[in-house]
Structure formats: structure tokens, C-alpha cells
Amino acid sequence: MKSRGELKSAGRVIIKIGSRLLAEDTDARVAVLAAETRALRDRGVDVVIVTSGAIALGWRRLGYPEKPRTIPGLQAAAAVGQGHLIHAWQTALGAHGLAAGQVLLTHDDVRNRRRYLNARLAFSELLRAGAVPVVNENDTVSVDEIKFGDNDRLAALCTSLIEADALVILTDVDGLYDGDPASGAKLIPEVRDIDKEAVAVAGSGSTGGFGTGGMASKVQAAKIAGRFGVVTIVASGRRERPVTSILDGGDAGTVFWPSVSRLQSRKHWIAYALKPAGSLVVDAGAKKALVDGKKSLLPSGIRRIEGRFGAGDPVRVVDESGAEFARGLCAFDADEVEKIAGRRSSEVAALLGYAAAEEVIHRDDLVLL
């Protein structure tokens, strides 16, 4: 897709709605979006909703004076709030004859390939059966290393899980501005190169204590979705039928067009779903072979390693200045790589004491960033 007119062809859409919008008046907001979901379904569009708001809806009900700052406090708030959140969605979607299917994910569900494929089956069956998957992070059990961090990222990773055509992030501003909206900045209607046109202006984006996102995380989400070939639209959820008007080619929001290099699902998963366990620092020759020559990474170009990782774990590939330029699955564990780094492929078997593949990261397991 390259122009707003083409958005009409989107057959499967993820709608992400943020805490700040939902916390204001949950039932009313959810009702409006449920009505729009019905209308979208009636024109043949599959809808998956990624909803924040569990923590925002939970903490007051626990009698906390403010949004908790501790992990157990956030977990408890999410446990209480998620029930209210899904109830609101079930009621509102049910009023339109739609079943809401609650899907709570942790980062483990996309990091572990088996669980990822399993989650994919669940989504596809929910959609086949005509239900509306209503997704949130499983905040009650998600801590640090199994956390997505924010629902913008969660929604972006879901684009590959459900093979979405578009991701619509509804928020409380009209889109991405070229500066501070309070001092006359203008809305950017379209972004074609996220790194050049969006990252600098997105800033850190305060969220006013409701969600965890801000504009910077929306831009990152657009980048992840874009590498999967999926268009992202960031728009105000306060407008009437925001998703329908966007799919009809209206001029609301900021559209982030996908980058040209669409990654296959597996490579996308390697690049963005996994959290690297360590780094391989490579010399300039190896970098050139990977970037220009589209080659696999061989032991000879590796200068040193950082971190501990097992065979098959995801690792960063960084150049000698420390800049990461690729990610991949390392065929060897950290001890093995230490032994063979800088050596010729023909020496590998003797160094390790057993026969092994000559690629430290095979081309098929490598993604240039």
C-alpha cells in the first residue's frame, strides 16, 4: 500500500486503544468502538482489538491513592482491572451480536516459536468463528524479561501473529506533530521513512500517568509493523468512526507507510519478537560480507562476544563502533563462539573437538536491521 485510497483494501485490521482514552469513560468509549467494529465486520473486515486499561481500571478499585509504582502493585491492579475491562468489551460487543475472545499474552508467547505458532492458531480460530479477539498483555504475570513493555509494541507484534493488513493506534492526539502542538506545530499526514521523518519529532511523549506509551512508542510500533509490510495509522480515538473514515481514505491521523523490505514472518520474529541474549562484535570485512554480500556470518570475522547465550539463542550483530546492524540466531553457544572467534572455518572442528556447521549465524537466520 502506498496511498490512502488503497487502505480500503485492508481485510484484517488491528485496532489498538490506549489507557488514557479508555479510562475517561470506559463503557461509553468501548460501546462506540464496538459499534464501529460491527460496521467494519459488516463490510468484511476482520477486527482484532488490542486494549489497554487494565491497570488504569484496577488501581482505584483496590483503594490505592494513585497508580502503583511497584511491580506487585501493578500486577494486582491489572488483575482487578482486566476483569472489568473484558466485561466492558463483552457487554459492548455482545450488544452487536459479537463474541469477545479474551487473549492475554506475555512476551514469551511471541518469543518462543512453538508458543507463537500456537497463539497464531488461537487467533485464526477465533476469527474464523466470527469472534473479536480482545488482546492485552497478561500484566499480572508479566515481569521484566517476559514483558512487552507497552501495548503499542504488543499490537505491532500482533500484526505478524494475525497477518494484519493495517494497524490503527487510537490515542488522544490527532497523530504525529512536527513539534509541540501547543505552540502551533502541524500534523504530519504521512511518514515514508520513519527514521528520518518521525523518530526525532516523536520525543519521549508524556502519557500523563495513564498508559506507558507516548508518541515515541507509537513510532517504534509503526516501525515494527512496517518491517512486516503493515501500514500503521496513529489517529485520535475521539473522532467519530475513526477507523472507518481512515479505511475510506479520509485524511485523519498520521499514516506510516511500510518500508519496502517486507520480512517474512520468521525473520520478523527473529528481528523483533525475540530479545537478544548477547552480542557478536564483528570486523569491517564481516560486516561488508553480511550487508553487501548477503552472506552468512563465519567465525573468522568475529572479534569478540558480549553476554552469555546458548546455541540457537538470538544475538545482536554489532560492528566495532558498537552499532548494531543485524540480528540472528547463533548456531553456537557463547563458549563455543569464544573458541572459534577469529579462526578459519576449516579449523572449527579441531578447535571444538567435533564436526560443526561453518556458519555462526546462517543467512536464513539473519536479519539486517
Which residues bind to ligand GLU, rule: CB under 6 A? Answer: 18-19, 52-56, 78, 136-137, 139, 150-151, 211-213
Kindly state the smallest distance separating residue 365's Cβ from ligand GLU, in Å.
30
Residue 68 or 211 having the CB closest to ligand GLU? 211
Please name the residues in contact with 87: beta carbons below 8 A apart, sequence gap of 6 or more.
Answer: none
Can you tell me the distance from the alpha carbon of 34 to that of 96, in angstroms, rounded to the nearest whole number? Answer: 7
Find out whether 158 and 225 touch, Cβ atoms under 8 Å: no
Find out whether 228 and 162 touch, Cβ atoms under 8 Å: no
Kindly state the smallest distance separating residue 7's Cβ from ligand GLU, in Å.
24
Q: Output the CA torsion sign for 305, 307, 311, 314.
A: negative
Residue 137 or 359 having the CB closest to ligand GLU? 137
Kindly state the smallest distance separating residue 173's Cβ from ligand GLU, in Å.
15
Q: Which residue is it, cell 473484558?
A: 86
Can you tell me the distance from the alpha carbon of 360 to that of 27, in angstroms, rounded to the nearest whole number? Answer: 53
Residue 233 or 286 having the CB closest to ligand GLU? 233
Kindly state the smallest distance separating residue 349's Cβ from ligand GLU, in Å.
49
Kindly state the smallest distance separating residue 81's Cβ from ligand GLU, in Å.
6
Strand, coil or helix: 120: helix
Can you tell me the distance from the alpha carbon of 332 to that of 14, in angstroms, rounded to the nearest whole number? Answer: 37
Nearest residue to ligand GLU by CB is 211
User: What is the CB neighbour count within 10 angstroms for residue 96?
Assistant: 16
Residue 37 or 52 having the CB closest to ligand GLU? 52
Can you tell me the distance from the alpha carbon of 118 to that of 130, in angstroms, rounded to the nearest whole number? Answer: 19
Residue 119 or 289 having the CB closest to ligand GLU? 119
Kindly state the smallest distance separating residue 22's Cβ from ligand GLU, in Å.
9
Residue 106 or 279 having the CB closest to ligand GLU? 106
